[in-house]
């Protein structure tokens, strides 16, 4: 992994109108690293992701991606720089087919040497190929999540962010998503995940960050998290 992180988030303060949600959120993701953002509901995890993506620019703090300050950039420019987002509640295009969803925003602006293409996404998620002509609205929750991941990969990002990666999915489908994330990690893609399922995250992740009341209160490896899990139990909400 590179010495300089691919993504650096420093002391973010972000507000919803007059209500402040982040009070010093910080994290980093190195090239090829798998990182989690953990914490109870309402602690600022999704707000942190929205700030990184330019959807909710922070009032204070700094976000640097691939050596460029992106703190004040509009969201479409941030996406073009190489950050792919799988948002909470998936947000697939309901009135487009699976195929149309995948190609709608596809690009390889960064000229990746082994780009994500339709055949490669279909290899990762064979069910999407089977459902290629189906509308997004007619897919199951698990299929929609696969589609949302595939759509993000078709933008050929350097960093993939997943907000609530397996929320509300059946156990078998969850297992498929975790297998997919294992494959992405092995490919060398940098990944930042929000999820509540600690067991697979402990196996996959290199580094964990924990948010509480909009602040980063802890970070460390899976081994360190395992050792401190009793002290951190309330912060993790498990």
Is residue 235 domain-resident? yes
Domain count, the chain: 2
Q: d(Cα 180, Cα 175) in Å, to the nearest integer?
A: 9
Structure tokens at 118: 């339709």
Q: Is residue 175 part of a domain?
A: no
Helix, coil or strand: residue 39: coil
Cα pseudo-dihedral 68, 46, 80, 206, rounded to 10: 70
Residues of the chain with pLDDT under 70: 1-3, 238
Phi and psi at 156, nearest 5°, equal 50, 60
State which residues form the domain around 24: 1-82+160-169+183-238
Residue 109 lies in a domain: yes
Asked if 158 and 187 touch (Cβ cutoff 8 Å), the reply is no
Number of neighbouring beta carbons within 10 Å of residue 193: 24
Give the pTM.
Answer: 0.95
pLDDT, residue 3, reads 57
Nearest-angstrom CA–CA distance, 87 and 44: 15
DSSP state of 237: T
Nearest to 57 by CA among 15, 7, 11: 15
Both 64 and 103 in one domain: the answer is: no
With respect to residue 100, please indicate whether it lies within any of the assigned structural domains.
Answer: yes
DSSP label of 23: S
Are both 60 and 164 inside the same structural domain?
yes
Domain for residue 87, yes or no? no
Q: Which CATH number do you get for residue 191?
A: 3.40.50.300
Sequence-distant (6+) residues with CB within 8 A of 114 are none
229: number of Cβ within 10 Å: 13
* Unique residue bearing structure tokens 């798998």: 34
State residue 4's pLDDT score.
80
Same domain? 70 vs 164: yes
Q: Sign of dihedral through CA atoms 82, 41, 167, 31? A: positive
Same domain, 165 and 147: no
């Amino acid at each position: 992994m590179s010495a300089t992180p691919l993504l650096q988030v420093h002391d973010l303060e972000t507000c919803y109108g007059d209500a402040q949600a982040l009070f010093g959120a910080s994290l980093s993701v190195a090239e090829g690293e798998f990182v989690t953002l953990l914490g109870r509901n309402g602690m600022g995890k999704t707000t942190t992701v929205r700030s990184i993506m330019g959807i909710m620019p922070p009032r204070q703090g700094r976000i640097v991606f691939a050596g460029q300050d992106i703190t004040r950039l509009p969201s479409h420019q941030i996406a073009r720089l190489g950050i792919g987002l799988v948002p909470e509640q998936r947000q697939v295009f309901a009135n487009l087919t699976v195929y149309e969803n995948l190609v709608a925003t596809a690009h390889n602006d960064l000229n990746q040497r082994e780009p994500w293409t339709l055949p490669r996404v279909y290899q990762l998620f064979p069910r999407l190929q089977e459902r290629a002509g189906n509308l997004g609205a007619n897919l199951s929750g698990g299929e929609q999540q696969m589609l949302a991941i595939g759509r993000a990969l078709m933008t050929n990002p350097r960093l993939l962010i997943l907000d609530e990666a397996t929320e509300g999915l059946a156990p078998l489908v969850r297992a498929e998503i975790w297998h997919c994330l294992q494959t992405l990690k092995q490919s060398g893609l940098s990944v930042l995940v929000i999820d509540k399922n600690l067991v697979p995250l402990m196996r996959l992740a290199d580094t964990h960050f924990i948010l509480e009341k909009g602040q980063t209160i802890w970070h460390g490896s899976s081994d360190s998290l395992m050792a401190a899990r009793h002290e951190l139990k309330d912060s993790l909400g498990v």
